[in-house]
Amino acid sequence: MVTDPKTWLKSYSPGMPSTLDYPRAPLYHFLQESTARYPERAAIIYQDSSEGNEPVTKTYLSLDEDSSRFAAALVSLGVRKGDRVAYYIQNSPELITGFYGILKAGAVPVPCNVMYRAEELAYHLNDSGAKVLFCEAELYPTAQQVLAETPVSNVIVAGGNVDGQAISWDSLLTSVSPLTDLPALDVDEDLALLPYTGGTTGIPKGAMLTHANMVANAVQFRDWFGYEPGGEVFVATLPLFHIGGIAGVMSVPLSAGGTIVLFRRFSAERVLKAIQDYRATRFLGVPTMYIALLNHENASKYDLSSLRASRTSAAPLPKAVKESFDSLVGHEVLVEGYGLTETSPLTHANPVNDARAGSIGVPLPDTDALVFDADDGVDEMPLGEVGELALRGPQVMKGYWKRPLETSEAIRNGWFYTGDLAYMDERGYFFIVDRKKDVINAAGFKVWPREVEEVLYQHPSVRLAAVLGVPDDYRGETVKAVIALREAHEFKTEESARKHILAHCQHHLASYKIPRIVEFRDELPLSAAGKVLRRVMREEAIEAE
Q: What is the dihedral of CA 412, 413, 415, 418, to 10 degrees?
A: -20
- Return the domain boundaries, the chain: 25-366, 439-543
Q: Find the helix or strand (DSSP H, E) in which 37 lies.
A: helix 29-37
Residue 240: partners with Cβ closer than 8 Å, 6 or more residues away: 91, 95, 96, 99, 111, 246, 249, 250
Whole-number pLDDT of residue 444:
67
**Residue pair 416/393 in contact by the 8 Å Cβ criterion:** no
**Residue pair 535/543 in contact by the 8 Å Cβ criterion:** no
For 113-151, the DSSP string reads -TT--HHHHHHHHHHHT-SEEEEETTTHHHHHTTGGGSS
Bridge-based pairing of strands 476-485 and 42-47 is: unpaired
- What is residue 415's three-state secondary structure? strand
- Which amino acid is residue 58, in one-letter code? K
Bridge-based pairing of strands 154-158 and 346-349 is: unpaired
CATH topology assigned to domain 439-543: GMP Synthetase; Chain A, domain 3 (3.30.300)
**Residue pair 162/139 in contact by the 8 Å Cβ criterion:** no
Q: Any idea what the Cα angle at residue 527 is, between residues 523 and 532, rounded to 5°?
A: 55
**Residue pair 367/220 in contact by the 8 Å Cβ criterion:** yes
Closest CA to 528 of 214, 245, 149, 194: 245
Closest CA to 274 of 263, 284, 264, 265: 263
Integer-rounded Cα Rg, in Å, for the chain is 23
**Residue pair 304/256 in contact by the 8 Å Cβ criterion:** no
- Measured in residues, the chain has a length of 545
Whole-number pLDDT of residue 266:
92
Tell me how crowded residue 278 is: count the other CB atoms within 10 A of its CB: 18
DSSP 8-state symbol, 279: T
pLDDT 10s per residue in the chain (545 long)? 445 679 999 999 999 999 999 999 999 999 999 999 999 999 999 987 665 678 999 999 999 999 999 999 999 999 999 999 999 999 999 999 999 999 999 999 999 989 888 988 999 999 999 999 999 999 999 999 999 999 999 999 999 878 888 999 999 999 999 999 999 999 999 999 999 986 434 578 999 999 999 999 999 999 999 999 999 999 999 999 999 999 999 999 999 999 999 999 999 999 999 999 999 999 999 888 998 999 999 999 999 999 998 888 777 788 889 999 999 999 999 999 999 999 999 999 999 889 998 899 999 999 999 999 988 889 999 999 999 999 999 999 999 999 999 999 999 999 999 999 999 999 999 999 877 778 787 876 778 888 899 899 999 999 999 999 988 877 778 999 999 999 878 888 999 999 999 999 998 888 889 999 999 999 999 887 788 888 889 888 878 77
**Residue pair 502/516 in contact by the 8 Å Cβ criterion:** no
Bridge-based pairing of strands 415-424 and 430-435 is: antiparallel
CA 80, 82, 84, 90 dihedral sign is positive
- Domain 25-366 = CATH 3.90.550.10: no
- Phi, psi angle pair for 455, to nearest 5°: -65, -45
Decide: residue 535, CB within 10 A, 0-12 exposed, 13-18 middle, 19+ buried: middle
Whole-number pLDDT of residue 1:
44
pTM of structure: 0.85
